[in-house]
Amino acid sequence: MKTKPVLTLEDVRAMAQAAEREAVTQGWAVTIAIVDDGGHLLWLQRLDGAAPISAQIAPAKARTAAVGRRESKVYEDVINQGRYSFLSAPTLEGMLEGGVPVLVDGQCIGAVGVSGVKSTEDAQVARAGIAALAH
């Protein structure tokens, strides 16, 4: 039988705190979502001032990154390059930059999705959260 790493509640809290710290330091009002490898929501945090819609977009970005095993930006790029049929891909709703998979030893164990500012900034906050696992 094979074993695989999984996110613990402690891991999720550490990532959420690091992502929040990055967002607050930058003055960005965002929503932070963390999911497991199946895209199931483990954490949702909407910072003061974040638009209500961001509470739906962030988990969608995280799910897309987790089940696709790659950054959600990959899908955005595919669509922007003209492959519009990709919009019909089942269960992928957050095909915008800002969803980043959590990879451990080459395995995706979850993802962080952020929404509320520019997509590159959303991804920056997500990566800051993931970086907390290395410590």
Categorize the per-residue pLDDT at 134 as very low, low, confident or very high, splitting at 50, 70 and 90: confident
pTM over 0.85: yes
How far is Cα 83 from Cα 89, in angstroms, rounded to an integer? 11
- Position 118 pLDDT exceeds 90: yes
Q: CB count, 10 Å around CB of 15?
A: 25
DSSP state of 31: E
- Topology annotation, domain 9-134: Beta-Lactamase (3.30.450)
How far is Cα 125 from Cα 70, in angstroms, rounded to an integer? 16
How far is Cα 39 from Cα 65, in angstroms, rounded to an integer? 8
Categorize the per-residue pLDDT at 135 as very low, low, confident or very high, splitting at 50, 70 and 90: low
% pLDDT > 70, the chain: 99
Can you tell me which residue has the tokens 């269960």? 91
